[in-house]
Chains A and B, each alone.
Chain A
Amino acid sequence: MGKKRKHSETAAVTEVNKEDSAAERPKRTLLGWKDKIEEKKESDSVVGFRNKEKVLVTCSRRISFRYRHLMLNVVSLLPHCKKDNKVESKDSKGATLNELVELKGCSSCLFFECRKGRDLYLWMAKCPNGPSVKFLVNAVHTMEELKLTGNHLKGSRPILTFSTNFDKDPHWKLLKEMIMQIFGSPKDHRKSKPYHDHIFVFSIIDDHVWFRNYQISCPHTGTQKIDRSDLEKMTLVEVGPRFCLNPIKIFGGSFGGPTLYENPFYVSPNQIRALEKKQKAGKYAKKIKAKTRRKMHELENPLQVDELAHMWNE
């Protein structure tokens, strides 16, 4: 199996042979793919790049069921991730997480933090000294929902699409790079499967990053060729999960460090709830005031005694 081979000089020797034979061999499913691997190996060895990204996925304690399912869905989507136990820490979260990531030998981390059982914050961090981002997660729909009917191979490499407004600002550019590295499966990963049958959509609407995952269903004849009409007939079915990320802050270090970017439009959910309560409290205060006002009014203007008031008392 050539997959685990380090890109070394031997690749250069074999490349000549493989180029000739690859063209002649018929394209059967597995064999044909193996050939292609050899061919691609040579392009790798020319550049010398290999994606060794590994993502550590953890959550905090007291995470609720919906967010836990979301985390499990994310784990199943990324073949290059490692799921770890719940992280319990009141303070010094950053240090704990950094240690954990180093221990597991991962290069990035997705940390799902659930506060008050209601708000989910997602930390995305590149680990040794990379930047980290904290998001507030909204509009969560997991893969278990029956309305999301698509399905795809577990571990196949996704196609990533970004909307062009990721190139508008430096913080979006940074986010795009981080997302591409974390959510894109490395080529030739042990657990990755061939064929590309699903696609991730990241787009920015209203300063939020929206995520969707679609299955590609394309009618084809069995050969690896499609033409215009097939492309037209292609449909996408949503697989899930769905979520919407609201960036809060970007830090220069991993889980801490100098703040590089703050979202000026961000309002924390705690503040929203506090505001609601204040408004409701206002209602009660007004009621009390109205009552006392009424009482004062009655005291000041006593009613005339009514002669007929006690007529029917016996």
Chain B
Amino acid sequence: MLDEENINDLGMEDPDNEVIDSEPESEEDEDVKLAEPSKTAVNNRDGLLDKLGDISWPENVGWIHKLSVDIDREQEVDVNDDLTRELAFYTQALEGTRQAFLEFQSMGIPFLRPSDYYAEMVKSDTHMEKVKGRLLAEKRKIEESEERRKARENKKIAKEVQAQKLKERAKQKKEEIESVKKWRKNRQHSGFAGGDKDGDLDFAFEDGKAFERSSKKQPGVAPGDRSGGKAGKGGGRRGMKGPDKNRKNREFRNSKFGYGGRKGPNKQNTSETTSDIRGFNGNFSGRKRKR
């Protein structure tokens, strides 16, 4: 027992240089081949063949005892390429099974396990449950990611469709307004002759939607109206209860001291006054500058 260890070490001293030259990878699990074979390796072919003869079974033993099939591998397989290596093993096994099954069938031996044959398996049921759980979890993960991806795509598409629709609507609106303007202009040009120039009007309403007053009962507030709306008009004069005492009081005070002014920074610009910059041009000295 000790001998072979010593022989091993001695045998490997010589090709030490080769070992360093061959740049072994430093993984513990992978082993490394020497760059060139060690010169001192023993290969006693005759001895090997003798021993083979010693241990072999007799020649005419039936195949059923050996159950071994030799498969030829067509092409060389690179050890480091995992996928092709495993594929090579798989094809070897598949070919072997096919040949063996044909042999079994010709011998008339049962070889297919019936579905009702229950016996102890090499892996326990609990272990197979775990395997099943893992496979299902993987499948679920894949499906979920697929769904998420599809949902994302759909959202994107929906958004695009929505954007399209909005654009369509805006375009429609613009076209309608344009057509009305054109109609008005045409009417102006042709001196308000009635009846002839209704073509444009008709054209604009081809889609069947007549100009309907909106069906709301309350009249909307005109844009230029700066009174208080509903609160200002009717609400101020109706009941003379609690808040109305305050109203009378307020009016008395107003007449005495003057109107205090509307509360808060309400909007004051109208469409005319926004572009009215008369007050700002050149009169910077006259106004109180904000520090």
Contact = CB atoms under 8 A, between A and B. Distances in A.
A295 interface: no
Interface string B38-63: 10111111011101101111101110
A13 B118 CA distance: 35
Interface string A162-177: 1111110011011001
Interface in A263-304: 263-269, 271-273, 275-276, 279
Contacts of A160: 66-69
Contacts of B43: 171, 261-262
A94 B3 CA distance: 12
A77 B65 CA distance: 17
Interface stretch (A2-10, A27-35, A56-64, A305-313): A27-35
Contacts of A158: 67
B249 to A, nearest CB: 79
Given A36-B110, A158-B67, A261 B48 contact: yes
A184 B57 CA distance: 13
Interface string B84-107: 010011101111111011001100
A187 B42 contact: no
Interface stretch (B29-37, B180-188, B240-248): B29-37
Interface residues of A, number: 109
B113 A197 contact: yes
Contacts of B161: none
B30 A151 contact: no
Interface string A234-271: 10100100000010111110011011111111111101
The DSSP consensus for interface residues of chain A is: mixed
Interface of B: 1-4, 7-8, 11-12, 19-20, 24, 26, 28-34, 37-38, 40-45, 47-49, 51-52, 54-58, 60-62, 64-73, 77, 79, 85, 88-90, 92-98, 100-101, 104-105, 108-117, 119-123, 127-128, 130-131, 134-135
Interface of A: 27, 29, 32-33, 36, 39-40, 43, 47, 49, 51, 76-77, 91-94, 118, 126, 129-131, 134, 136, 138-139, 143-144, 146, 149, 151-155, 157-167, 170-171, 173-174, 177-178, 180-181, 184, 186-187, 193-197, 199, 201, 203, 205-208, 210, 212, 214, 216, 218, 220, 222, 224-226, 231, 234, 236, 239, 246, 248-252, 255-256, 258-269, 271-273, 275-276, 279
